[in-house]
Amino acid sequence: MTTTILPVPTVPGLGLEERNPGIPLDLGWVREVRVNRPAVERRAATLPARRSVKREWQAAWLLRAITAIDLTTLAGDDTPGNVRRLCAKARRPVRSDILEGLGAADLGITVAAVCVYHNLVSTAVEALAGSGIPVAAVSTGFPAGQIPHRLKLAEIEASVGAGAAEIDIVVSRARVLRGEWRDLYEEVREFRAACGPAHLKTILATGELGTLRNVGMASLVCMMAGADFIKTSTGKESVNATLPVGLVMARAIRDYHRQTGHAVGFKPAGGIRTAKSSLDWLILMKEELGDGWLRADRFRLGASGLLTDIERQLEHHLTGRYAAAHRHPMV
């Protein structure tokens, strides 16, 4: 079966008509969560094979994937200089000659956001001024979250004050592992309040939660607490975004939307490095949540090196040849 995602440009940033306000914690609903792991793994294994996107349709899907990327740098050697170069790439993620060859030069293709540590938020905000591309800041003691709660709240407030429009927080994994759902709910509610107008993405660090049922329950609690997005991973765990985890989280989003009418976004992150893997995640969204979750306001890809491979694939579509990676530098 061949399907297409037309490369219609989307307004960068989270543009949900109505943010998820959250609901009172419903422990009965949380404890009813069940996950059939073999069934989830079978379903996840079939997803990449269910839809085949080739030629110009594949190019269209890849352009859509670019508009969903949170272009990220979270390295210990980050400097203002390389963040400025990353922001320049965010503004023009694909070489002009490739876009012209694809007939997409006038579509206004940009990435969805640029994600950095707090100390580089102001640099990124300045570099992206006038572009409409928001800055996302990782927060609350990213990636481990092992700092006092008051410092987590202060870090969020400082990043928002510096101009971050999105905050990617890490939850306390110990609360999930001990089943302390009310404490997790209250923690995320306080993070949401500290964000103010900035949108909140809650990172579950799914590779450290032990079971898929824990992933499902944690997803539900974070949405009840008002998360605008739920996100798989920090990218720093030994296991990051996987399709079975994504399937569990997508179905939690679907159930929450059906029960409350509130739409929550999804962000896989960590280990997504190839154009093919970005297509797999888009297919998961289309199959499980529908076309409404194929836009940047409800779907993000947290990645650093992914854009290089997508740009190589687009050039291959035009020329029939794969370019060396250095022809598509990130910074």
Active site residues: 168, 231, 267
From residue 169, alpha-carbon distances to 166, 231, 296 in Å are 10, 9, 19
